[in-house]
Amino acid sequence: MQSTSLLEKKTSIQPRLSAETRYKRQIGLFLISPWLIGLLVFKLIPILASLVISFTNYQLLGPDKPHFIGVQNYIHVFKDAVAGKVLWQTVNLTLVIIPLQIAASVWIAGLLSSRRLLWKNTIRTLFFLPSIIPAFAATLMWQGYLDPGIGWLNRLILKPLGLERGLAPALVGGIDPIFILISLWSIGPSVLIMMGAMQSISPEIYEAAWLDGAGRLTRFFRMTIPLITPAIFFSLTLNLTALFGGAILLDRGNTYRGNISSYDGYVNYVLLDLFRVGYASSLAWVFFVFVLIVILILFGTSKRWVHFPDRER
Amino acid sequence: MARLSQKLFSPRLRQFGHILPFNVFVWILLLFYLSPVFFIIVTAMKPTEQLTDRNSPLYPASMVRYEYQGREYPLYHVPTEAGIQQWALIKPRRATSEFIDPQHPESGPIQWQGSWRTLKRVYQFHIAWENFTVLFKSLLFPRMFLSTSLMTLIGEIAVLTSSIVVAYGFSRFSLPGGNLLFYILIATILIPEKVTFIPSYFVYVNYLHWRGTFLPILLPLFFGNAVYIFLLRQNFKSIPVDLEEAAMLDGAGPLQRLFYVILPQSWPVVITVSLLYFFYSWNEIREVSLYLGSNIKLMPLSYGVQTYQSFTPIQNLIEASTIVVLAVPVILLFLFQRFFLQGLVITGMEEGTSSGV
């Protein structure tokens, strides 16, 4: 793998390109130019700008003019107990929610792509339905659903089981259970991605395994899951970034009470309530670096467990 | 014995017996998974008086009342020697209360020993359509629908066009730097929004004075969305290049090839991506509250309803307004389910990167 990519690099740096290749490159560049401009204007420049701002004491409603104060903001971030707490909460949340989301979406996608399933389209659509309930409404809905007096959890599920009083939804690792429920009820896009991957597995492989006497569970855990690891990896990345406030596929990755996470909420508070732009920028940058490290670790481990079809050639 | 069972159960029936438990299981799971949706629908139809009563039925129902001497009194299930009677409560008192029997009003008030608070009210099935009337009176739905539709439509056209063109560029043309640009594309998916948000917000609000307009929300969409570009590119890549080569020999330019060769084969993914954007835009409140919050004329549906819900702590009105927001996305989901549910194929990541047209 290493050697071929080096080879490719060498050929691509070759000084003389044929006229046709150059023409194709120009067209390619022309086609992706909207994205390139967007990258510059909406990503790179703002990122650099917020880096610059993070070294100033810029305040929206301050008496003094903004000037550079060096790394003071960053020192402040590392001393800020609230920042540490909200970052820890966000990490905690991620560790609870992401595994649940991935497991649930693999499981449901497996059920929905089974050949034994009748009325496939209707059932798949119905499973997607809760994912399009807007986050703000979902929050209030779950509050009503879990209400100890009139909520359905108590009246429909716990009361018949004789558990009425005992099981008030407890905090899970300091996390509001509504947050977990909302993220489990918004796995629609992940399920779609997993389903797409499962459908592209050729049936012959399963038939061969079936002939060899592999049971249903063996086939699912030993064949399906390894073959859909690229999809798992992709939706892991998407869910993670949704939780960290990156790209969001539906309106909540996991929006809850207006904030993606408690860290996000803290930055909003510093920015929009305290108007401390410089400090908010450094908070955002610390988080950016933190996310980068997490993503790099994730991508680093991906070679071990993600089955990329092309790598085997 | 085995022969008999073979005779009794035709192959089809046996096959059905084989798949039935699985389907029953999926249906039970689905019922459980959809129970919040049922909760929304049922609660939206409940009369307000039913909401605070723990003993009220789970279905929408109103309290039954009885008119006696020109005044209305609520009916209660009262345990008596002759079994449980439905009596109207006239004078509630702590130890003894006065009831009237609607069947024999002429016999006058009946004294009943015990606390009336322990009694259950009598309900009858009743759908409170008036919840929706209340909503339509207190919220300017036509205007909010118009605002949201306009914003979503423009955004949809912008983000789809740009993402399709860019995805085509990524899928079929070798670009300078090899895959580097594509890796940058993926990397931009992962950037937390906050780090780009602060400077952009101040440029939009303080320098361009775009607060209260759609511009800060819509402008970035004209430059493509990294996730959509990625999803479209993966799909375009899975289309064989032969047809395109034929079209090229006939003198079709790159954009013509995109429109006449690639797009006709990619409707499922294009529809999936556009629905994903639609659901996002229709429900989005964060950007909308930051940039449009001050402009009531352009107040979109999601933000209007969210504001209403946060000031109205009445569950039936909350769920009724949720249904109003959900109506259009649900209709679209069911209309396009055939395309939408083919799934998103993201594998074949690196396949044939070197083979351009």
Report the alpha-carbon distance of residue B64 to residue B57 in Å, rounded: 13
Mean pLDDT of B76-80: 84
pLDDT by residue (tens digit) across A185-229? 888 889 988 988 888 888 888 888 888 888 888 888 888 888 888
Taking each helix axis as running N to C, give the angle between helix A229-244 and helix A188-199, from 0 to 180 degrees, rounded to the nearest 10.
Answer: 160
Report the alpha-carbon distance of residue A125 to residue B269 in Å, rounded: 16
Report the alpha-carbon distance of residue B325 to residue A187 in Å, rounded: 20
For residue B223, pLDDT beyond 90:
yes
B164 neighbors B271 (Cβ within 8 angstroms): no
> What confidence score (pLDDT) does residue B13 get?
64
Is the domain defined by B139-340 classed in CATH 1.10.238.10?
Answer: no
Which residues in chain B have Cβ-Cβ distances shorter than 8 Å to A42? 196, 200, 220, 223
Percent pLDDT > 70 in chain B is 92
Question: Which domains, ranges and CATH numbers included, belong to chain A?
Answer: 88-276 (1.10.3720.10)
Mean pLDDT of A152-163: 74
The larger pLDDT score, comparing residue A149 to residue A77, is at A77
Residue B86's DSSP bridge partners are B77
Is A132 in contact with B341 (Cβ distance < 8 A)?
no
- Which of residues 66 through 95 in chain A touch B, CB cutoff 8 A? none
Is B342 in contact with A199 (Cβ distance < 8 A)?
yes
Of the candidates B220, B229, B218, B155, the one whose C-alpha atom is nearest the C-alpha of residue B189 is B229
Secondary structure class of A208 (helix, strand, coil): helix
The larger pLDDT score, comparing residue B152 to residue A207, is at B152
Q: How far, in Å, are B51, B54, B57, B67, B94 from residue B116 at the CA level?
A: 20, 15, 19, 19, 7
pLDDT by residue (tens digit) across A173-189? 556 777 788 888 888 88
Give the tokens for residue B43.
């609660």
| pLDDT confidence bin for A1, thresholds 50/70/90 | very low
For residue B79, pLDDT beyond 60:
yes
Q: B51, B164, B198: which to substitute to probe chain A, counting the most A Cβ within 10 Å? A: B198
> What confidence score (pLDDT) does residue A57 get?
84
Is A134 in contact with B326 (Cβ distance < 8 A)?
yes
Which residues in chain B have Cβ-Cβ distances shorter than 8 Å to A36? 181
For residue B43, pLDDT beyond 70:
yes
For residue A149, pLDDT beyond 60:
yes
For residue B86, pLDDT beyond 60:
yes
The larger pLDDT score, comparing residue A294 to residue B294, is at A294
Of the candidates B68, B56, B55, B255, the one whose C-alpha atom is nearest the C-alpha of residue B173 is B255
> What confidence score (pLDDT) does residue A172 get?
53
Q: Which residue of A has its CA nearest to B283?
A: A134
pLDDT by residue (tens digit) across B319-328? 999 999 999 9
Mean pLDDT of A101-122: 90
pLDDT, mean over chain A: 80
Give the tokens for residue B274.
């556009």
Report the alpha-carbon distance of residue A152 to residue B319 in Å, rounded: 14
Report the alpha-carbon distance of residue A29 to residue B170 in Å, rounded: 9
B8 neighbors B16 (Cβ within 8 angstroms): no
Of the candidates B258, B264, B272, the one whose C-alpha atom is nearest the C-alpha of residue B170 is B258
In 10 A of CB A303, how many CB atoms?
Answer: 10
For residue B349, pLDDT beyond 50:
no
The larger pLDDT score, comparing residue A313 to residue B165, is at B165
Residue type, A175: I
Report the alpha-carbon distance of residue A112 to residue A131 in Å, rounded: 16
Q: For chain B, what are the domain ranges?
A: 13-44, 65-121, 139-340
Is A246 in contact with B191 (Cβ distance < 8 A)?
yes
Secondary structure class of B114 (helix, strand, coil): coil
Residue of A32, A228, A281 lying closest to B166 (CB–CB): A32
pLDDT by residue (tens digit) across A260-269? 567 877 888 8
Residue type, B276: L
**Residue A201 burial by Cβ neighbours in a 10 Å radius (0-12, 13-18, 19+):** middle
Contact with chain A for residue B327, Cβ under 8 A: no
Q: Which of left, alpha, beta for B345 (phi over 0: left; psi -120 to 50: alpha)? A: beta
pLDDT by residue (tens digit) across A256-312? 444 556 787 788 888 877 888 889 899 989 988 988 888 888 888 888 888 766 544
Contact with chain B for residue A129, Cβ under 8 A: yes
Of the candidates A100, A105, A106, the one whose C-alpha atom is nearest the C-alpha of residue A227 is A106
Which residues does B88 contact at the CB level (< 8 Å), separation at least 6?
B65, B66, B68, B73, B74, B75, B76, B99, B100, B101, B102
Residue of A42, A129, A237 lying closest to B37 (CB–CB): A129
Residue of A53, A244, A310 lying closest to B198 (CB–CB): A53
Report the alpha-carbon distance of residue B343 to residue A197 in Å, rounded: 8
The larger pLDDT score, comparing residue B302 to residue A62, is at B302
A178 neighbors A139 (Cβ within 8 angstroms): yes
> What confidence score (pLDDT) does residue B353 get?
34
For residue B175, pLDDT beyond 90:
no
| pLDDT confidence bin for A234, thresholds 50/70/90 | confident
Mean pLDDT of B50-76: 84
> What confidence score (pLDDT) does residue A256 get?
45
Q: How far, in Å, are A258, B143, B182, B303, B343 from residue B309 at the CA level?
A: 13, 18, 42, 10, 34
